[in-house]
């Protein structure tokens, strides 16, 4: 039996919350794929645990075997309704913060008036999150933060993004080794999956580290044009751009994930056609 670790981003990748239409049958067929005994499903998201669980309920998504949350700062193993945090991952990424706590980091940043701490539920053990004005000079801000941390030996991964709905800047501060790619590689190593037994699906800039890695990946058809342009020169042996030519579906969201799985694993393509 084929073993496949299927890792997918949620918002605008599996979850159809973008502007493009979803193929009506895509999510049901994705759920069948997730139920295949050879498939291990992992969600990889910027959402925290509670928001991933909410998405599963709201969009009737299959329950994953694993969830990489907080942009790679947390890993959970899911058994039924029990979500068990992987403390081994916490221990793996913690040294980059050189023993500093949330409070320590907040204290070092207290003089930056542009930063407003996000709500408690949006924080994690190894994720410190702030709001900032949308017109913030991000290059200067990120350089200032790194300069404040450097004397304490604190190494960070800084993620800047924009919340289009609220028109706010968002800043996530993680240990330097915490990101989607390293979390997936950690999961692969612990569960015994090779690269050719793994597929990742994404749609946006915060997926770039995986999309440009050696892990076979699919960019769903509804991905932003600028991301598609940036991916144009990536080897087709490692990255598949969904076109919308599989089982009459349009390649957006779950349809694109299925198309990518079929591309990298022809045996799964046969199985999916039988389920369709």
pLDDT per residue over 214-244, tens digit each? 999 999 999 988 889 989 888 989 999 999 9
Radius of gyration of the chain (CA): 19
Q: Are strands 156-163 and 128-132 parallel, antiparallel or unpaired?
A: unpaired
Average pLDDT of the segment spanning 154-175: 90
Q: What pTM does this model have?
A: 0.93
CB atoms within 10 A of CB 127: 24
168 to 73, 114, 137, 142, 240: CA distances (angstroms):
22, 12, 13, 16, 32
* Neighbouring residues of 48: CB distance < 8 A, sequence distance ≥ 6: 69, 70, 74, 121, 122, 124
Distance CA 8, CA 266 (A): 19
156: β partners: 175
Structure tokens given for 99: 């023993």
Residue with tokens 């498939």: 39
Distance CA 188, CA 193 (A): 5
What per-residue confidence (pLDDT) applies to 56? 98
What per-residue confidence (pLDDT) applies to 90? 96
- pLDDT, tens digit, 9 for 90 and up, residues 20-61: 999 999 999 999 999 999 999 999 999 999 999 999 999 999
What per-residue confidence (pLDDT) applies to 1? 62
44 to 36, 154, 206, 243: CA distances (angstroms):
19, 25, 11, 23
Domains and CATH numbers, the chain: 4-73+178-275 (3.40.50.1000), 99-175 (3.90.1070.10)
116: β partners: 131
Cβ(30)–Cβ(13) below 8 Å: no
* Three-class secondary structure of residue 148 per DSSP: helix
- pLDDT, tens digit, 9 for 90 and up, residues 125-142: 999 999 999 999 999 999
Which of 157-166, 204-213, 263-272 bottoms out in mean pLDDT, i.e. has the lowest? 157-166
* Neighbouring residues of 270: CB distance < 8 A, sequence distance ≥ 6: none
Closest CA to 93 of 210, 180, 175: 175
């Amino acid at each position: 039996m084929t073993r496949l670790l299927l890792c997918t981003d949620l918002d605008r990748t599996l979850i159809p919350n973008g502007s493009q239409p979803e193929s009506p049958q895509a999510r049901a067929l994705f759920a069948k794929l997730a139920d295949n005994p050879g498939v291990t499903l992992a969600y990889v998201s910027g959402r925290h645990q509670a928001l991933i669980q909410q998405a599963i309920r709201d969009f009737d998504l299959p329950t994953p075997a694993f969830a990489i949350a907080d942009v790679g700062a947390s890993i959970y193993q899911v058994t039924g309704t029990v979500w068990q945090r992987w403390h081994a991952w916490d221990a793996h990424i913690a040294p980059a913060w050189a023993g500093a706590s949330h409070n320590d980091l907040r204290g070092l940043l207290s003089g930056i008036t542009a930063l407003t701490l996000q709500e408690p539920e949006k924080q994690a053990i190894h994720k410190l999150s702030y709001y900032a004005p949308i017109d913030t000079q991000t290059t200067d801000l990120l350089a200032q933060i790194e300069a404040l941390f450097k004397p304490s030996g604190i190494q960070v991964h800084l993620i800047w993004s924009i919340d289009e709905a609220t028109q706010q800047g968002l800043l996530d501060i993680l240990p330097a080794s915490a990101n989607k790619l390293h979390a997936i590689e950690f999961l692969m190593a612990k569960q015994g999956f090779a690269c050719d037994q793994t597929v990742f699906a994404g749609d946006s800039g915060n997926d770039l580290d995986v999309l440009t890695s050696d892990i076979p990946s699919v960019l769903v058809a509804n991905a932003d044009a600028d991301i598609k342009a940036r991916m144009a020169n990536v080897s087709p042996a490692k990255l598949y751009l969904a076109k919308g030519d599989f089982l009459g579906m349009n390649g957006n969201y779950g349809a694109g994930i299925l198309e990518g799985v079929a591309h990298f694993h022809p045996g799964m393509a046969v199985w999916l056609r039988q389920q369709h």
